[in-house]
Structure 1
Amino acid sequence: MSLDGVIEDIRDEARTRADEIRSEAEAEAEEIIADARSDAEQIREEREREVENRIEQEREQRLSSAHLEAKQMRLASRREVLERARERVEAMLADLDEETREELTRALLDATVGEFDDDADVAVYGRADDEELLKSILEDYEGYSFAGEYECLGGVVVESADSRIRINNTFDSVLEDVWQDNLQGISDRLFAEQ
């Protein structure tokens, strides 16, 4: 075999080997590209899920915030309605006719009598506009005297001379007790769900 034949064999072998390397490289490149495409698709799908989750979370947060805000507005409105209802009751108490005012004042004063000794000196305070009424009523109670004004809607504050016992039996205090005891029922009636 001549030198030219050997050179040609080496070249053929080199070409064959180069073709094999090229084919392997192309196959490896295609595999790398396929893996990259697969990875890219997984990353894209993962990102889409993350974005969808974020969107859903934000939607839930906004919806929750809107519900909370609506509830707060409803509660504020209810509070306002209840305050107006109470103000109307207070106005009605302030404007009672004289007969009813006297009857209620006597009942509130009578409720305090058992708390004091029979011979005790007892000071009675009341609404400025009720001074004459109170003085008239107190003529029927021995040891009781009008002691001055007390800012209230009506009724009495009764105190022993030594200030050991003080009873607040004003319209205001009775209203507060009744209001607190019945607030839930009042609210239910005012805001009954249809």
Structure 2
Amino acid sequence: MGLEIVTKDIQEGARAEVSRIKTEADAKASEIINEAKDVQKKMLGDSLAKVEEDLQKLHQQVISSANLEVKRITLNKRKELLDKVYSQTAESIKSMPASKKEELLKHIINKYEASGARFYSSKASEETARKLSSLTYAGNVDCIGGVVIENDDGTIRFDFTYDSILKNVYERSLKQISDTLYG
């Protein structure tokens, strides 16, 4: 009987040890599971924060890109309109009555011919310009009207073509024209 009691004591001790180890293992497993859940929650929260931040940045980039595109399109349309105004003004000058063109040409020649020795004009204005000026006629230039006056050695040229005058006035008045058209 002594051996059975020893065996029984060993078995009970082993069972108690197994039970203790199992309880410790369950507690440790529960602790590990809880830590893993906490880490998972933190990682999920961090991931959500990162995704929200990335979405915010992407949203801002899309808005900025769209705003730039709208500005580009608006500026292109304004430029098209300003170019159209410029072209229409040039066409208005071309279609001026001959008497107005002659009056304008006479004013330019009277005011500036003392500064030169020869002059150039458009083919269409040649006859009128020759009639109005005492300077030597030097040939034609490609323009809608007006004259180019040059000194004897050709080192100084005064460009009084309507094209040049229109361009200068247009460039000086561009801001005012733009403000008038677009407010």
Give yes or no for TM over 0.5. Answer: yes
Q: How many residues align?
A: 183
Given that 2:118 and 2:136 are in contact with CA atoms closer than 8 Å, whether structure 1 keeps it comes out as yes
Given that 1:108 and 1:170 are in contact with CA atoms closer than 8 Å, whether structure 2 keeps it comes out as no
Structure with higher helix content? 2
User: What's 2:168 paired with?
Assistant: 177
Measured in 1, the distance between the counterparts of 2:130 and 2:113 equals 16
Given that 2:109 and 2:132 are in contact with CA atoms closer than 8 Å, whether structure 1 keeps it comes out as no
SS in 2 for 1:125: strand
TM-score normalised by length of structure 1: 0.88
Answering whether residue 77 of structure 2 is matched by residue 77 of structure 1, we say yes
Alignment of 1:1-194 (within 5 A): 2-116=2-116, 122-138=117-133, 141=134, 144-192=135-183
Identity of aligned residues (%): 31
Measured in 2, the distance between the counterparts of 1:114 and 1:31 equals 105
For structure 1, list consecutive stretches of 5 or more residues without a partner in the other structure. 117-121
Following TM superposition, by how much is the alpha carbon of 1:187 offset from its aligned partner in structure 2, in angstroms? Answer: 0.6
Following TM superposition, by how much is the alpha carbon of 1:114 offset from its aligned partner in structure 2, in angstroms? Answer: 4.8
Given that 1:127 and 1:152 are in contact with CA atoms closer than 8 Å, whether structure 2 keeps it comes out as yes
TM-score normalised by length of structure 2: 0.93
Given that 1:109 and 1:169 are in contact with CA atoms closer than 8 Å, whether structure 2 keeps it comes out as no
The amino acid across from 2:9 in the alignment is D
Given that 1:124 and 1:145 are in contact with CA atoms closer than 8 Å, whether structure 2 keeps it comes out as yes
